[in-house]
Amino acid sequence: MNEDSAHFPPVDPVKAGVKGLCPRCGQGKLFDGFLKVKPACASCGLDYKFADSGDGPVVFVILIVGFIVVGAALWTEVNVNPPLWLHFLLWIPLASIFSLVLMRMLKGILVNLQYRNNARQGEIDRG
């Protein structure tokens, strides 16, 4: 990481993650498709083998989308009292679309933060 700072300007991990850009150069694309991480950056050649966001983005998506959609559904039920079919018509597509968009952004942010903080898988020191 130290040699990277001499060759590449610092990249804001949140901005690069939201846009789905490389954590080192900020130019190349991070994703190959919608959520699959590319093997390497086409611009600077950074190997993305370190990029393992795991279930981290999923937890944040569940909490954020759940809070917003359930809160809005409860507010709508109390104040407007629409029929049940209208709830299904409103909240299921909204939650699905919001989850997919937020998943891509949060996965990009977490991969960028992994690179910036040089995060690796935990190891047990047996020495």
pTM confidence score = 0.84
Helices 84-116 and 56-79, packing angle to 10 deg:
150
Kindly state whether residue 110 falls inside one of the protein's structural domains.
yes
Q: How far is CA 54 from CA 44, 58, 72, in A?
A: 24, 8, 29
Closest C-alpha to 94, from 113, 115, 68? 68
Domain count across the chain: 1
Domain range for residue 71?
A: 2-116
Kindly state whether residue 123 falls inside one of the protein's structural domains.
no
**What mean pLDDT comes out for the span 86-115?**
95
pLDDT tens per residue across span 26-71: 999 999 999 999 999 999 999 999 888 888 899 999 999 999 999 9
Kindly state whether residue 125 falls inside one of the protein's structural domains.
no
Tally of CB atoms within 10 A around 105? 17
* Alpha carbon distance 114, 32 (integer Å): 18
* Alpha carbon distance 45, 67 (integer Å): 39
Kindly state whether residue 69 falls inside one of the protein's structural domains.
yes
Kindly state whether residue 124 falls inside one of the protein's structural domains.
no
Kindly state whether residue 97 falls inside one of the protein's structural domains.
yes
Kindly state whether residue 122 falls inside one of the protein's structural domains.
no
pLDDT at 4: 63
Task: Pull the structure tokens for residue 14.
Answer: 């949140």
